[in-house]
Structure 1
Amino acid sequence: LNVSYQSINKVLPIIKAGCRNSDIGYHIQRFVESKKMNVIREYVGHAIGRNLHEKPDIPNFGNKDEGVRLEANMVICIEPMVSLGGWQTTVSAEDGWTVKMKDGSLCAHFEHMILVKENSCEILTVDDVIKPSILEV
């Protein structure tokens, strides 16, 4: 849980107009992998507007300096999904909805909705819901 949550906070300083969507993923992936964990690649964050899921995608992995440049006043959802094992998932045949790690490892997911500003960003979701005790191991 900590690594998923912390990866959002690590990437906030780079989010501003002109930042590329792949830069966000690059920094999330580097942080997560530095903790000897993996980012799930089959699900990504996204822009949000009139529709819940809009382009561009905001991956949790990738290379620097590639992809779409973010613009001021865009709203994006950053959703790092972190696995203690491999990065591949499978969908439960029982309900066709539940996602599990292919190798059976544990995973965690946090999400923040972010307003991209000219020279910074702003978290739009309420952060005080996450109690420190949840993140203590």
Structure 2
Amino acid sequence: MFWAGKPSIKAKRLCDATYVALMEAIKQVKPGNKLNEIGLAVEKYIRDFGYSIVRSYCGHGIGKVFHAPPNVVHFYDQGESLVLKEGMFFTIEPMINAGKHETLLSRLDNWTVTTRDLSLSAQFEHTLGVTEDGVEIFTLSPKNWHFPPYN
């Protein structure tokens, strides 16, 4: 991860919390756990910071198409009962806002997303697979560039 310019303390804290929330979610990935435990881990970690979790975007399965089922939401969804099994591949990519959770999609390019209240937002993502005894993260950087810089 690299900063674009010099980040504020508020931005650094948001990025740090978002990264840790991602790693807390990954700890839930193992055979027999439910998919909704991923979102619960993010929600539990983020709650005390006063941040919000974007609900309109989520992680996703990886298969014959890039964005495949299941949807991996980053908040607790009581109705989601999918059980994780060895051989499943998906992303976890929480988007955390310093303000409210609502977002806006730009009409100019139908790609750019901002927070509705113009607050700061951070996102980290890993692609992973469920193994016999846990998880393998496929997107770790050999040079540890996947960690937020702490300078």
**Structures share fold, TM-score greater than 0.5:** yes
Deviation at 1:17, TM superposition (A): 1.1
The unaligned stretches of length 5 or more in structure 1 are none
Does 2:107 match 1:93?
Answer: yes
Select which of 69, 74, 90 maps to 1:76: 90
Deviation at 1:64, TM superposition (A): 5.5
Taking the TM superposition and a 5 Å limit, the aligned residue runs for 1:8-87 are 8-63=22-77, 66-87=80-101
Taking the TM superposition and a 5 Å limit, the aligned residue runs for 1:103-114 are 103-114=117-128
Deviations 1:51-78 (A, max 9, x none): 1011111100014684211110111100
Q: May I ask how many residue pairs the two structures share in their alignment?
A: 135
Q: SS of the residue aligned with 2:60?
A: strand
Deviations 1:4-59 (A, max 9, x none): 11111112222111221111011111111222111100000011021101111110
Q: For the Cα contact (< 8 Å) 1:20–1:65, is it kept in 2?
A: no
Q: SS of the residue aligned with 2:44?
A: helix
> Partner residue of 2:130?
116
Whole-angstrom distance in 1 between the partners of 2:76 and 2:148: 30
> Partner residue of 2:3?
none
| CA gap 1:64/1:14 in 2 versus in 1, 3 angstroms | farther
Percent identity, please.
Answer: 30
Q: CA RMSD in A?
A: 1.7
Question: Scaled by the length of structure 2, what TM-score is found?
Answer: 0.82
The unaligned stretches of length 5 or more in structure 2 are 1-14
Q: SS of the residue aligned with 1:14?
A: coil
Whole-angstrom distance in 2 between the partners of 1:65 and 1:97: 30
Deviations 1:69-103 (A, max 9, x none): 11101111000100000001011122221100011
Deviations 1:100-119 (A, max 9, x none): 00111010111001111122
